[in-house]
Amino acid sequence: MAATDIVRPMALSTQDKAAALAGVPLFAGISAESMERLAAVAGEQEFAAGQFIVRQGQVGTGLYVVLSGSVKVLRGSDVIARLGKGEFFGELSVIDQQPRNASVEAAESTSVLALASWDLLALLESDPQLSLNMIKGLVMRVRQAGEKLGH
């Protein structure tokens, strides 16, 4: 099945979404306004095991946060990382507008929250806490990448 970057309307109510988002470290400490806006613009998507969520080489149009289940990050056919509930992916392409540097595949039945790049950029601009959380997330990945490199 082809990967989809199309956000389907969510089954969850805005309130339910806000509750699901509250536990995600990326959104920790962001303002109530940001959270409300996020819940309004973000959409939920379901993937079956083995389905691609993003494909390496494509230009990214969104950021994804795992709400339930887990995903595999693939470079070619190598699994370079596994991400679970609360973790995010797809941010690099949004920030630098470059093609995706890895593919992401659902490892099991997985539900993700999808945030379109323009919505993410607008939120990053309006809420410094979100930017700070994002930088921290990226910095941690840089360090993990470095550690893998060193070993």
Partner 1 sequence: MAMTAQELVDMLSSLTLFADLTRPQLEQVAHKMTEESFPVGQRILRQGFTGTGFYVILDGEVAVKIDGEERARLAKGDFFGEMSILLGEPPVADIVTTRQLHVLHLGGPDLEGFLRDHPQVMYRMLKAVALRLRNASRWRS
Task: By CB under 8 A, name the binding residues for partner 1.
Answer: 75-76, 78, 80, 91-92, 95-96, 98, 101-102, 124-125, 128-129, 131-132, 134-136, 138-143, 145-150
Q: Determine the 3-state secondary structure of 89 from DSSP.
A: strand
Half-sphere exposure of 53 (CA within 13 A, CB side): 35
Shortest Cβ distance from residue 138 to partner 1 (Å)? Answer: 5
* Spatial CA neighbour of 1 closest among 60, 67, 45: 45
Question: Which residues pair with residue 62 across a beta bridge?
Answer: 116
Comparison of 9 and 150: residue with beta carbon closer to partner 1? 150
Comparison of 14 and 31: residue with beta carbon closer to partner 1? 31
Q: Determine the Cα–Cα distance for residues 16 and 39; give it in Å rounded to an integer.
A: 9
Shortest Cβ distance from residue 109 to partner 1 (Å)? Answer: 27
Comparison of 50 and 128: residue with beta carbon closer to partner 1? 128
Q: Are 52 and 3 in contact (CB under 8 A)?
A: yes
